Structure 1
C-alpha cells in the first residue's frame, strides 16, 4: 500500500512537470486552488486516478490487445498507455489531452516514470 501511495506521488510529480513546464503542450491540468490540498491536491488526484486505472484497467487492456502487442513487438503498448491517459482525462474535468499524439507521448513518459518508480521502490 505504501509503494502504491509513493507511486501516486511520483505520477503526480510527473503530471506537474509535464504541465507546469509545458513539456507536452497538448496536456493541460486545470488546477483547483480551493480544493482540500490546493493545487497539489489536483495533481495528486490525477496521479491517483491514473494509478488506479493503470492497476485495474491496464492489465485487462494489455491482455485483450496481446495479439497486437506481439505483432508489433510491443509497440502497441504505447497505444494502451495512450488509452489509459485518455480514459483518465475522460473521468476527470481537471485533465485535458489534445489529440492522439499527445496521448501517446504522455503515455510513454508516464510509463517510463512508472517503471523507474517501480525499480526504485523495489529496493
Structure 2
C-alpha cells in the first residue's frame, strides 16, 4: 500500500510543478497523465538510472556528484519523449523540475512518516 501512496504523492507533486513551473506542461486529462508520468518515472528510476550512474561514475566523481542532477534531468526528458501529455521545454527546465520534485517528495514523504514513531 505504501508504494501506491508514494506513487500518488509523486503524481500530485508532478501536477503541482506542471501548474506552477513554466516550461513544464501536462495536457489532456492532466490527473491521469500525472499518474502515468509518476509511474513511468518510477520505472525508469528503477531500471535505467542505475545503469546511467554506473556508466557516468568517473564524471560524477570529478563533479563531486553534481552530474547526478544531469542524469535526473535526462530521465525527466526521457519521460517527456515517452508520454504524449507531458512536455518539458529544455534541459535546464528538466534540472529545475527534478530538483523541485525531489524537494516536494521529501516534504510529502516526511509528513507521511510523521505518524510512525519508534517505541
For normalisation by structure 2, the TM-score amounts to 0.83
Distance in 1 (alpha carbons) for counterparts of 2:68 and 2:108: 18
Distance in 1 (alpha carbons) for counterparts of 2:45 and 2:106: 12
Superposed CA offset, 1:87-113 (max 9, x none): 000001011010111011011122334
Distance in 2 (alpha carbons) for counterparts of 1:62 and 1:113: 23
Counterpart for residue 36 of structure 1: none
Q: Does the 8 A contact of 2:33 with 2:86 survive in 1? A: no
Counterpart for residue 13 of structure 1: 12
1:101 partnered with 2:92? yes
Counterpart for residue 83 of structure 1: 74
Superposed CA offset, 1:49-91 (max 9, x none): 1111111111111111111111111100100000000000000
Partner SS for 1:25: coil
1:102-121 counterparts in 2 under 5 A?
Answer: 102-116=93-107, 120=112
Q: Does the 8 A contact of 2:9 with 2:108 survive in 1? A: yes
Superposed CA offset, 1:22-41 (max 9, x none): 2x200111132xxxxxx422
For normalisation by structure 1, the TM-score amounts to 0.81
1:27 partnered with 2:24? yes
Partner SS for 1:50: helix
Q: How many residues align structurally?
A: 114
Larger helix percent: 2
